[in-house]
């Protein structure tokens, strides 16, 4: 394979920086290209930690931020937009995405940036009111306002470009400066995002608030340590070591928002509409090739896995056509080959796509301890006496159900046992406004709430007189006001 070298810039407060005074980090992509990203330099840190980029954003009304993101999103939506075209080309050439997957990724970026109504709804449902970042909002006997925490550092995911964008957007709509530490697996998305901001307005406070930097996982160096020490929030995505590192490295008073490794699974009753059941499951398996935490890896199937296999094979084949998988590296292919060898040795039934694009293994749930991802579905028997709650733990993120109406009652058992999200099978990738992410409402972690409490003249619900504490003490009447 011919090796080409691609050198990416960093982005310092909205400005593309092609020099690399601290040198480059070099890695090899799945398509065999050499990829160079600049290492964070001290001079970058000086610029990033100046007050301006943080404070200018903090003073912007929320709607100006949302409008700006919308403008960027409208560009991303257009198939003529050069930044989108370059981005799609890089996902294909460098990261081995199929053209369909790369395009879908760009569309999802357009979707979140353009989704102004959804952003307002997320602000309102997570923080309590659409204008809470701009005004004092009455809440019971107080008025509440949300201020940005200040500086947010994002340890970026390498597996799901969309998540990288979500992380940045959450921080920006809460008016936090963003320092995106990109992953060597996908350094493209945050840079493309920053460049698309500059395309709208190079000096806009939102553009200036975004920096994209790099250091090798767990090794921030002196420059990175300054960034970490100056960060009021750290959003850490990725493997266990990445999220644990963030917690350890953070300032003791910094908020650390962890999106650590999770797995997801499905419960499927395919008795009545096997084609629909298969379509939903196939979608949740094929979308992002199971690299996302919400991707279904396993499915408990009624009436029997074997009966679902023909429809599922067809649905998976359909996805190979409408959303071809990305290039699989040596290691990913090897992991699946080993898994199939194991399954066959253990006597489990296996089905494979002719072109190797997917695999189905009918196995007991205990076998799920080895999962190679890459569109591999484990189907498990679902006997009548199985306790769904016993099949999940706090490590399980999304449980997908089919058919929805029939299986919705399962949610109580699985959520009590630790699951944070229950969806209809085929909808795993759609994070609806109002829903929680990994057990929390992340926007609540990005802000500092301040409150004004009503003065003494306002009586409480349980008292019919003004709160005159001195008089109560003088007259020894406090106890009267205890409900």
Partner 1 sequence: MSRATSIPQPAGADQPPNEAEAQSPSVRIIDARTAIDELIFAEDPWYALPLERQRELSDALIRQALREHLERCPSYRDYYARSGAAEPGAVALADIPLVSTRVFKFADLRSVEAHEVERWYRSSGTSGQPSRVPRDRASLERMVGSVHGSVGLLADWDEDEVAVINLGPGREHVEDVWFQYVMSLIEALYRSESRVPRDEAALDEIIGLAQSLLDDYEHLIVVGPPFHVLDLCEHMQRRGVELQAGEGATILTAGGWKRFGGRAIPKQEFRAVVARQFGLRGEGQVRDVFNQVELNTVLFECEAHEKHVPPWVHVAARDPETLQPVPEGEEGMLSYLDASCSAYPCFIVTEDVGVVRRGRCACGREGTRVDVLRRLESRAAKGCALKMGQIHANG
Subset of 321-350 contacting its own copies (CB under 8 A): 322-323
Nearer to its own copies, 134 or 381 (CB): 134
Nearer to its own copies, 214 or 287 (CB): 287
Please list the residues that pair with 68 across neighbouring strands.
none
Q: Quick one: 24 exposed, middle or buried, by C-beta within 10 A (0-12, 13-18, 19+)? A: middle
Asked if residue 467 binds its own copies (CB under 8 A), the reply is yes
Tell me phi and psi for residue 126, to 5 degrees: -85, -40
Phi-psi region of 150 (alpha: psi -120 to 50; beta: other; left: phi over 0): left
Q: Find the radius of gyration of the CA atoms of the chain.
A: 25
Q: Please tell me whether residue 413 binds its own copies under the rule CB under 8 A.
A: no
If one asks whether residue 235 binds partner 1 (CB under 8 A), the answer comes out as: no
Residue 426 interacts with, from partner 1, its own copies, none (CB under 5-8 Å by kind)? its own copies
Q: Work out what residue 118 binds among partner 1, its own copies, none; the CB cut-off runs from 5 to 8 Å by kind.
A: its own copies
Residue number with CB closer to partner 1 (341 or 390): 341
What is the distance between the alpha carbons of residues 353 and 285, in angstroms, rounded to a whole number? 14
List the single partner that 100 binds among its own copies, partner 1, none, CB under 5 to 8 Å by kind. its own copies
Q: Rounded CA gap, 297 and 425, in Å? A: 12
Assess 455 for contact with its own copies (CB under 8 A).
yes
The answer to whether residues 216 and 133 touch, using CB atoms and an 8 Å cutoff, is no
Beta strands in 157-202, from DSSP E residues, in sequence order? 177-181
Toward its own copies, which CB reaches closer, 252 or 383? Answer: 252
- Residue 30: contacted member of partner 1, its own copies, none (CB under 5 to 8 Å, by partner type): partner 1
The interface region with partner 1, picked from 36-44, 156-164, 425-433, 440-448 by CB under 8 A, is 156-164
390 binds partner 1 per the rule CB under 8 A: no
Q: Are the C-beta atoms of residues 52 and 211 closer than 8 Å to each other?
A: no
Which listed option, its own copies, partner 1, none, makes contact with residue 348 (CB within 5 to 8 Å by class)? none
Our finding on whether 225 is near partner 1 (CB under 8 A) is: no
70: exposed, middle or buried (Cβ count in 10 Å: 0-12, 13-18, 19+): middle
Q: Which is nearer to partner 1, 200 or 368 (CB)?
A: 368
With CB under 5 to 8 Å by kind, the binding choice for 431 among partner 1, its own copies, none is its own copies
Q: What are phi and psi of 36, to 5 degrees?
A: -115, 130
Q: Does 157 bind partner 1 (CB under 8 A)?
A: yes
Q: Which does 367 bind (CB under 5 to 8 A by kind): partner 1, its own copies, none?
A: partner 1
Place of tokens 């409208």: 74
Task: Looking at residues 106 to 165 of the shown chain, list those that interact with its own copies (rule: CB under 8 A).
Answer: 107, 110-111, 114-118, 121-122, 124-125, 128, 136, 138-142, 144-145, 147
Q: Please state, in angstroms and rounded to a whole number, the distance separating the CA atoms of residues 190 and 10.
A: 10
Q: How far apart are CA 207 and CA 386, in angstroms?
A: 52
464: contact with its own copies by CB under 8 A:
no
Q: Under rule CB under 8 A, which residues in 9-48 are in contact with partner 1?
A: 30
Supply angle C-alpha 456, 458, 460, rounded to 5.
Answer: 100
């Amino acid at each position: 394979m011919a090796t080409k070298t691609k050198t990416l810039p960093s982005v310092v407060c909205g400005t593309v920086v092609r020099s690399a005074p601290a040198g480059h980090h070099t890695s090899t992509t799945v398509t065999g290209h050499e990829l160079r990203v600049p290492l964070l330099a001290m001079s970058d840190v000086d610029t990033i930690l100046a007050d301006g980029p943080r404070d200018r954003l903090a003073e912007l009304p929320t709607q100006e931020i949302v409008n700006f993101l919308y403008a960027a999103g409208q560009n991303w939506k257009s198939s003529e937009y050069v930044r989108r075209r370059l981005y799609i080309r890089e996902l294909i050439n460098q990261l081995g995405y199929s053209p369909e997957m790369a395009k879908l990724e760009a569309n999802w970026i357009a979707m979140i940036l353009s989704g102004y109504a959804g952003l307002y709804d997320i602000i309102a449902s997570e923080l309590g009111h659409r204008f809470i970042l701009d005004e004092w909002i009455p809440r019971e006997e107080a008025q509440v306002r949300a201020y940005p925490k200040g500086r947010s550092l994002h340890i970026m995911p390498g597996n799901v470009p969309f998540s990288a964008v979500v992380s940045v957007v959450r921080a920006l709509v809460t008016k936090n400066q963003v320092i995106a530490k990109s992953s060597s697996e996908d350094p493209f998305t945050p840079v493309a995002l920053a460049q698309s901001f500059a395309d709208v307005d190079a000096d806009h406070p939102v553009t200036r608030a975004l920096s994209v930097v790099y250091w090798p996982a767990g090794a921030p160096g002196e420059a990175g340590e300054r960034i970490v020490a100056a960060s009021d929030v750290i959003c850490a995505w990725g493997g266990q070591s990445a999220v644990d590192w963030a917690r350890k490295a953070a300032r003791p008073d910094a908020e650390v928002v962890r999106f650590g490794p999770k797995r997801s699974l499905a419960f499927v009753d395919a008795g009545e509409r096997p084609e629909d059941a298969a379509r939903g499951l196939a979608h949740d398996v094929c979308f992002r090739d199971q690299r996302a935490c919400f991707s279904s890896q396993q499915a408990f199937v009624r009436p029997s896995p074997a009966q679902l296999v023909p429809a599922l094979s067809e649905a998976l084949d359909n996805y190979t056509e409408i959303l071809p998988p990305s290039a699989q590296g040596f290691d990913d292919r090897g992991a699946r080959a080993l898994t199939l060898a194991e399954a066959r040795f253990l006597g489990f039934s296996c089905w494979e796509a002719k072109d190797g694009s997917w695999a189905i293994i009918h196995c007991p749930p205990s076998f799920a301890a080895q999962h190679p991802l890459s569109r591999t579905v484990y189907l498990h028997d679902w006997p009548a006496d199985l306790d769904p709650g016993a099949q999940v733990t706090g490590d399980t993120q999304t449980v997908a159900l089919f058919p929805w109406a029939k299986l919705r009652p399962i949610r109580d058992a699985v959520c009590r046992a630790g699951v944070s999200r229950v969806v209809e099978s085929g909808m795993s990738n759609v994070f609806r406004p109002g829903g929680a992410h990994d057990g929390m409402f992340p926007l609540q972690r990005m802000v500092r709430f301040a409150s004004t409490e009503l003065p003494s003249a306002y009586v409480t619900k349980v008292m019919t007189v003004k709160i005159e504490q001195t008089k109560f003490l003088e007259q020894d009447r406090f106890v009267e006001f205890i409900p």
